[in-house]
Amino acid sequence: MPFFNKRKINLDLNNMPKHVAFIMDGNGRWAKKRGLPRLVGHNAGTETLKRIVKESKKLGIPYVTFYAFSTENWKRPSDEVNGLMNILVKFIQSEINEIHENNIKVNILGDIDRLPDFAKEQVHFALELTAHNTEMQFNIALNYGGRDEIIRGIKLIHQDLLDGKILPDQIDEALFSNYLYTSGMPDPDLLIRTSGEVRLSNFLLWQLAYSEFSFEKVLWPDFDEMAFRNAIYEYQKRNRRFGSV
CA–CA dist 12, 237 (Å, integer): 10
- Residue 191 lies near ligand FPP (rule: CB under 6 A): no
- The yes or no reply on residue 17 touching ligand FPP (CB under 6 A) is no
| Binding test (CB under 6 A) with ligand FPP, winner from 61, 68, 126, 191 | 68
Amino acid letter, residue 229 = R
Catalytic residue status for 148: no
Residue 109 touches ligand FPP, criterion: CB under 6 A = no
Strands (DSSP E) contained in 46-126 are 63-70, 104-109
- Residue 61 is which amino acid? I
With left for phi above 0 and alpha for psi between -120 and 50, is residue 26 left, alpha or beta? left
Query: Binding ligand FPP by CB under 6 A: which of 20, 21, 136, 140?
Result: 140
Q: Does 146 bind ligand FPP (CB under 6 A)?
A: no
Least distance in angstroms from the C-beta of 194 to ligand FPP: 9
Which of 103, 171, 94, 101 is CA-nearest to residue 137?
103
* 25 has catalytic annotation: yes
DSSP bridge pairs for 66: 22, 140
* 185 belongs to the binding site for ligand FPP (CB under 6 A): no
User: Interacting stretch for ligand FPP, rule CB under 6 A, among 85-93, 101-109, 166-174, 222-230?
Assistant: 85-93
Helix (H), strand (E) at residue 164: none
- The site for ligand FPP (CB under 6 A) is made up of 24-29, 42, 45-46, 49, 68, 73, 84, 87-88, 91, 140, 195
